[in-house]
Structure 1
């Protein structure tokens, strides 16, 4: 059995040593180790080492398994984790997570755990959307202005237009008025109303 290990840490000030030691203590010996230093907010497939791992697994013909210390190493959320596990399973790779009692996520029990996680994640997303919509509705009733605050007013828009007509560069105008180049360009193109 070809054994792959994947580890991830969020910052360069952290190391994967504890994850690798935990996997070693569980009795697994790695044929290949892939480790990313990247935020957990990045989807798994967009992580450089995880992408290399997937490529290597897809080219490996003999039986294979991936070992991770914790479930969150496989993705940023339940949907991402499910996608990662499904892709690994389609490549003929079992997935073992030590945090879950060395559970193989491609087994029947593992699939049940993943399905439960996906259902919980979907409910959490629905609740978040409901809370957000309720908060926006309350803000509208209270007469609050929604969206990003305006960075300009009528006077500054007029000043920007005068500078543009005077031949001042977009970059210079943006610096002078403390706004982005995009704001100046929208004023120039008539797309911006103060």
Structure 2
């Protein structure tokens, strides 16, 4: 029985090594890391990604599929929930690094099955809502940056202390209910920066856009 970490890396700031470090820090022993690089999680289904497709071929009954969060397993509600249920049908346990969620198809108790299935639906819906919110913040940030006069755009202000990967990670954790201190510890950013990301995501996106991040 193996534990396979699946990492989706969609920006130049994200790395599979970082996701592996997070998994190990959370107490997981990983046997192999499978990575899809340069793949958008909001436009490409798991089965359409080169390494995502490979997961369906290599995982066997008793194996554990580890992901940072459920959004790594699909582009929307249907894709995420279908992927989790397919892996469970094959006897694969799906676990998340963040919040330590466990999706196991082995249980036969009807009540436990009902709770598990409801949790899958909720997590998949949360994942899609989070993706939509981030897309909207990005659109608003770009529009705001473009609306600034040339002089302000050239000045740009102080360079952000965070990268786009930092911003995405913080937004993911905020959506999952993590506190400012926990996010600060994981990302290395100040609580003040996290607070701004929480209260003014469009402004944070605008700053990244102005600096070409």
TM-score bucket (shorter structure) = 0.5 to 0.7
Cα contact 2:70–2:127 (8 A) shared by 1? no
C-alpha deviation, 1:117, in angstroms: 4.4
Over residues 84-120 of structure 1, what are the superposed CA-to-partner deviations in whole Å (9 max), with x where a residue is unaligned? 1011111110100122x21112364442211234567
CA distance in 2, matches of 1:83, 1:50: 14
CA distance in 1, matches of 2:40, 2:83: 16
Over residues 108-137 of structure 1, what are the superposed CA-to-partner deviations in whole Å (9 max), with x where a residue is unaligned? 444221123456799x8xxxxxxxxxxxxx
How many residues align? The count is: 119
Matches for 1:1-194 after TM superposition, within 5 Å: 1-12=1-12, 14-37=14-37, 38-41=39-42, 42-57=44-59, 60=60, 63-99=62-98, 101-106=99-104, 108=113, 109-117=115-123
Scaled by the length of structure 1, what TM-score is found? 0.54
Which structure is richer in relative contact order (CA contacts within 8 A, separation 6 or more)? 2
CA distance in 1, matches of 2:125, 2:13: 34
Which stretches in structure 1 are left out of the alignment for 5+ residues? Answer: 125-194
Scaled by the length of structure 2, what TM-score is found? 0.50
Cα contact 1:97–1:103 (8 A) shared by 2? yes
CA distance in 2, matches of 1:119, 1:10: 21
SS at structure 1 position matched to 2:66: strand
CA distance in 2, matches of 1:118, 1:9: 19
Cα contact 1:79–1:121 (8 A) shared by 2? no
More helix by share: 2
Cα contact 2:47–2:53 (8 A) shared by 1? yes
CA distance in 2, matches of 1:11, 1:118: 22
C-alpha deviation, 1:12, in angstroms: 4.5
Which stretches in structure 2 are left out of the alignment for 5+ residues? Answer: 106-112, 130-213
